[in-house]
C-alpha cells in the first residue's frame, strides 16, 4: 500500500522540525511551508493526500487557506494542528467532513491517528478538545 502523502504547514522552525519527524515515521512528508499563500501554491501543485496545517500562519492563516482549498476541491482532507482550543475555531475548522483538529500539546498521541482518520474521510478531534468542549461554561 502506498504511504499517505502529507503537506505540512507550520511557521515555527522548531515545531515544524518535530512535526515533520513525527509524521515521517508513517507518512511521506512531501513539502513543508511556513505561510498561508505558500500553502495554497504547494497544495495546488503537489496535490497531497492530507494537509496538516497550523491555524496561525503569517499572511493568509491556515484556517482560511484550508477553507479555500477545500472549497475548490484541491484537497479533501485537512488536519489542523494548533494551540487554539476556542470552541468557535474548532467548530469552524470541523465544518467540513474529513477534517481533524489536534492541539499541539497532543500531537505525540494524536497526530498520526488524526491523519489516518481524515485520510479515510472520518473526522478527528483530540481527546483534550472533546473534554474542553464538554466542560460547563464553554460556548
pTM over 0.75: yes
CA dihedral sign of residues 43, 49, 54, 55: positive
Give per-residue pLDDT as tens, 7-24.
Answer: 999 999 999 999 999 999
pLDDT of residue 4: 97
| CATH (domain of 116) | 3.40.50.2300
Q: Which residues partner with 6 through β-bridges? A: 29, 50
Neighbouring CB atoms inside 10 A of 124's CB total 20
Number of compact structural domains in the chain: 1
Full domain range(s) for residue 35: 5-134
Cβ(46)–Cβ(31) under 8 Å? Answer: yes
CA distance 42 to 67: 15
Q: Which of 105, 124, 48 is nearest to 33 (CA)?
A: 48
CA distance 133 to 93: 14
3-state secondary structure of 98: coil
Give per-residue pLDDT as tens, 30-82.
Answer: 999 999 999 999 999 999 999 999 999 999 999 999 999 999 999 999 999 99
Is 139 within a domain?
Answer: no
Amino acid at each position: 500500500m502506498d504511504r499517505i502523502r502529507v503537506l505540512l504547514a507550520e511557521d515555527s522552525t522548531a515545531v515544524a522540525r518535530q512535526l515533520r519527524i513525527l509524521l515521517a515515521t508513517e507518512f511521506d512528508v512531501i513539502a513543508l511551508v511556513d505561510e498561508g499563500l505558500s500553502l495554497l501554491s504547494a497544495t495546488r501543485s503537489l496535490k497531497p493526500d492530507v494537509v496538516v496545517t497550523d491555524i496561525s500562519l503569517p499572511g493568509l492563516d491556515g484556517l482560511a487557506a484550508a477553507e479555500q482549498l477545500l472549497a475548490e476541491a484541491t484537497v479533501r482532507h485537512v488536519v489542523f494542528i494548533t494551540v487554539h482550543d476556542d470552541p468557535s475555531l474548532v467548530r469552524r475548522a470541523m465544518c467540513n467532513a474529513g477534517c481533524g483538529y489536534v492541539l499541539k500539546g497532543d500531537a505525540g498521541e494524536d497526530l498520526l491517528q488524526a491523519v489516518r482518520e481524515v485520510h479515510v474521510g472520518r473526522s478527528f478531534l483530540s481527546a483534550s478538545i472533546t473534554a474542553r468542549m464538554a466542560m460547563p461554561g464553554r460556548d
